[in-house]
Amino acid sequence: MKKASRKVIITCAVTGAGHTPTMSPHLPVTPSDIVAQAVGAAQAGASIIHLHARDPKDGRPTSDVNVWLDILQRIKQQCDVVLNTTTGGSTFMPIEQRLIAPLRAKPEVASLNMGSMNFGSYMMADKYTEWKFDWEYNHLEGSRDAVFRNTFKDIETILEQLGKGCGTKFECECYDVGHLYTLAHFLDRHLIEPPLFIQMVLGTLGGIGADPENLVHMKRIADKLFGDQYQWSVLGAGKNQMPLATIGATMGSHVRVGLEDSLYAGRGKLAQSNAEQVRTIRSILESLSLEIATPDETRSILKLKGAAQVGF
């Protein structure tokens, strides 16, 4: 029997909070840069844009709601992509601060980190001797002794206020196998509804390593816990970005790329834009005879509330 064709959702995470401006001149920092690169990524084939906001003056991660709304509104005016606001913010932001913009924006999708963990980026600090801005070194070095806090209570708060309260669907970021069980716990408690959208995150320092066997194991456990109640996507950090996305896609996953997760487009070569990474994964997917989901197909696959229901 012929198998029904499936569409692959490309998420592009355009800037994040981990990389800093010194690391790449192509990392979008100002609202205009973030908007332009988000629109470029959408035109290249991304149907979800995962967003963080940065202070226009110096590129520091910000929770400023005016900056957020400016970015969201301008992208929405220019293209019909699904907008996903981070609730992870930056490791150094308390949960209340991380939630200000998402609760105002009521987006179709928001990130949800499924556990507290170490999140090391301090090793990147040694690569540079001169910095564009004075906050950058301490931001990276500070990750040596910081905890990326996502307690059960934090997760409950996000699920209740943003999920139940605003109809937002979550990109459930799972950095290890235990996070899948935490997600199953919240599913059992009906605090989150299927279809789940699980982002398997491999290769961060503090999370599960980017070994294909880890991905196979996480998929096996997700099948056992969630059956047909979930969609899944793969994010490989740094040099693992394209290889793991390719492995995931051949196993049936959606994929995530973007400068938040890797600044590169091949060994030692900085990506010139987010769109470049989207074009690369798109061409790999199309070579594998996989079809790319449009924003509306993504809304239907993930059962999103729709762009007319957001708060921006």
Residues engaged in binding Zn ion (CB under 5 A): 86
Least distance to ligand KMH, CB of residue 20, Å: 13
Least distance to ligand KMH, CB of residue 256, Å: 9
Strand partners, 62: 53
233 part of the interface to ligand KMH, by CB under 6 A: no
70 part of the interface to ligand KMH, by CB under 6 A: no
- Closer Cβ to Zn ion, 111 or 298, answer by number: 111
Which part of the chain contacts ligand KMH (CB under 6 A), choosing from 26-34, 82-90, 134-142, 241-249?
A: 82-90
Which tokens hold the place of 227? 């059956």
Rounded CA-CA distance 132/225 in Å is 46
Least distance to Zn ion, CB of residue 153, Å: 21
Which does residue 173 touch among Zn ion, ligand KMH, none (CB within 5 to 8 A, set by kind)?
Answer: ligand KMH
113 part of the interface to ligand KMH, by CB under 6 A: yes
Nearest Cα neighbor of 187 from 202, 174, 203, 175 is 174
Please list, residue by residue across 38-72, b when 16 or more beta carbons sit within 10 angstroms of its beta carbon and e when fewer do: bbbbbebbbbbbbbbbbbbeebbbbbeeebbbbbb
Least distance to Zn ion, CB of residue 48, Å: 12
Q: Which of 37, 62, 63, 86 binds ligand KMH (CB under 6 A)?
A: 86
173 part of the interface to ligand KMH, by CB under 6 A: yes
Region 17-46 residues binding ligand KMH, contact defined as CB under 6 A: 18
Q: Which of 8, 10, 11, 16 binds ligand KMH (CB under 6 A)?
A: 16
Q: Which of 70, 176, 261, 276 binds ligand KMH (CB under 6 A)?
A: 261
The set of long-range contacts for 145-148, using a CB threshold of 8 Å and a minimum separation of 24, is 146/91, 146/92, 146/118, 146/119, 147/91, 147/116, 147/117, 147/118, 148/88, 148/91, 148/113, 148/116, 148/117, 148/118, 148/119, 148/206
Nearest Cα neighbor of 116 from 185, 198, 36, 175 is 175
88 part of the interface to ligand KMH, by CB under 6 A: yes
Binding region for ligand KMH (CB under 6 A):
13, 16, 18, 86-88, 111, 113, 173, 201, 204, 237, 260-261
